[in-house]
Structure 1
Amino acid sequence: MKLLRYLANLGYGSRREVLAMFADGRVTDVDGELLYGDDVRAHHTVRLDGAPLDPAPGVFLMMNKPVGVTCSAKDQGKLVYTLLPPRFKLRSPIVSTVGRLDRDSSGLLLLTDDGTLLHKIISPKSKLPKVYRVTLARDLRGDEGEVFSSGRLMLDSEETPLLPAEFERLGDREARVTLHEGRYHQVRRMFAAVDNHVVTLHRERIGGLALNGLPEGEWRLLDDNDRQQLFG
């Protein structure tokens, strides 16, 4: 792909804006030689203002999403894109969230511009386990594990029962739940079905990937080893 289109797709600006970058001599190779919009070069050999380009297409990353941040590119308020380089929202294709964590939930969030990978992760066929830690408004009543693992729990407005989910009691008002599907607000609705209310909800793990100390509000790129770990 010609560099003019390539840099525009990476979110550096409109084609007119990127063309001006070439005209101003801001785009070079690693040796400082000027490059032009019609040139075709490997991603890692291109520099803009002397700095390497943003990650190449096929970017895959994890974020520790804080409470109060929305998984959207268009909603009002603070969005996940405010925690990423501004150009990530302007890329074509855009770096999208893999599924969602609602505004009041925190924890592990995956993002990618690879549509094939995104659909592989969220596909019901993958059944990737997703692990959540919750705190509750009322004491656990004692039968949550049996109800959640039964494969018979029906949520309001749903036509099929939930897949069995694992439940671990961590305290009178604290638990860990592992899901193998991803329905709308599922954990919150599951506890509502057993007469409780989720106060805090934090996703700890997806498949074999965990936050592993990633600070809240921070993100890191994932590599091929991480992909293998995700599906391992």
Structure 2
Amino acid sequence: MKLVRHLANLGYGSRKQVAWMFREGRVTDADGEVLYADDAVAHDDVRIDGEPLDPPPGMLAMLHKPVGCTCSNKDGGRLVHDLLPPRFRLRKPVLSTVGRLDRDTSGLLLLTDDGSLLHRIISPKAKLPKVYEAVLAEDLRGDEAALFASGTLLLESETVPLLPADLQVLESRRIRLTLHEGRYHQVRRMFAAVGNHVLALHRSRVGGLALDGLPEGQWRLLEPADRERLFSVADSVR
């Protein structure tokens, strides 16, 4: 692939705009030598205005999503993509969220431009555990943990019972819930089914990955070791 097309696919601009960057001498190698649009140079050796390129295709990132951001362009308000470099919206392949967290839920959100990786993560076969912490409107009645673990709970308007889920009581109205599937508004609907209401919801872990101190609203690239850790929990129970 020509360098001009590669940079355009990374979101640095249209091919015409990227071509002007070459003419202005803004694209160089790691040693500062000016590059040309048809040069064949490794991704890691290219600099724009002296800065390394954004991640190549196949990237996986973690974002600490704050309350108030949405994962869909169809929803109004602030988007999770607003927390990322603006160029990321123009990448080809498209950078997509791996599943969704609703506007009122905070926590760990994954993003990738690798379609096969995305489907591997969200596939029911993966059974990656997802850990949520919630604040409830009412005290627990006492039988929720057994019901959630039974694999018999049927949500309203659904015909397939939920997979067993693990409920840990932290305080009378604070819980930690581990799921092995990802149905629409699942945590909120589970507590609605037992007559309670979720006031605040936060996802702290997906698979073997946790936020590990990543500040709210910040993101970071995931390295190969992170990817291995992501699937390590599911692999260990097979």
| TM-score normalised over the length of structure 1 | 0.98
Give the corresponding residue for 2:118: 118
Q: Deviations over 1:66-93 (max 9, x none)?
A: 0001112443211011111111111001
Aligned partner letter, 1:51: E
Any gaps of 5 or more consecutive residues in structure 2? 233-238
Aligned partner letter, 2:88: F
Give the corresponding residue for 1:85: 85
Residues 61 and 110, structure 1, Cα contact 8 Å, conserved in 2: yes
Aligned partner of residue 217 in structure 1, secondary structure: coil
Alignment of 1:205-224 (within 5 A): 205-224=205-224
Q: Structure 1 segments of 4 or more deviating over 3 A?
A: none
Aligned partner letter, 1:106: S
Aligned partner of residue 145 in structure 2, secondary structure: helix
| TM-score normalised over the length of structure 2 | 0.95
The CA RMSD measured in Å over matched residues stands at 0.9
Residues 131 and 179, structure 1, Cα contact 8 Å, conserved in 2: yes
Between the aligned partners of 1:29 and 1:204, the Cα distance in structure 2 is 40
Aligned partner of residue 176 in structure 1, secondary structure: strand
Any gaps of 5 or more consecutive residues in structure 1? none
Q: Deviations over 1:139-164 (max 9, x none)?
A: 11111001101111111111100000
Q: Deviations over 1:160-188 (max 9, x none)?
A: 00000000111111111000000000000
Give the corresponding residue for 1:167: 167
Aligned partner letter, 1:114: D
Between the aligned partners of 1:224 and 1:198, the Cα distance in structure 2 is 35
Between the aligned partners of 1:76 and 1:192, the Cα distance in structure 2 is 26
Between the aligned partners of 2:36 and 2:73, the Cα distance in structure 1 is 32
Between the aligned partners of 1:22 and 1:74, the Cα distance in structure 2 is 36
Between the aligned partners of 1:130 and 1:109, the Cα distance in structure 2 is 11
Give the corresponding residue for 1:103: 103
Aligned partner letter, 2:183: R
Residues 207 and 231, structure 1, Cα contact 8 Å, conserved in 2: yes
Alignment of 1:1-232 (within 5 A): 1-232=1-232
Identity over aligned pairs, percent: 69
Q: Deviations over 1:116-158 (max 9, x none)?
A: 1111000000000000000011111111001101111111111
Residues 73 and 81, structure 1, Cα contact 8 Å, conserved in 2: no
Aligned partner letter, 1:64: H
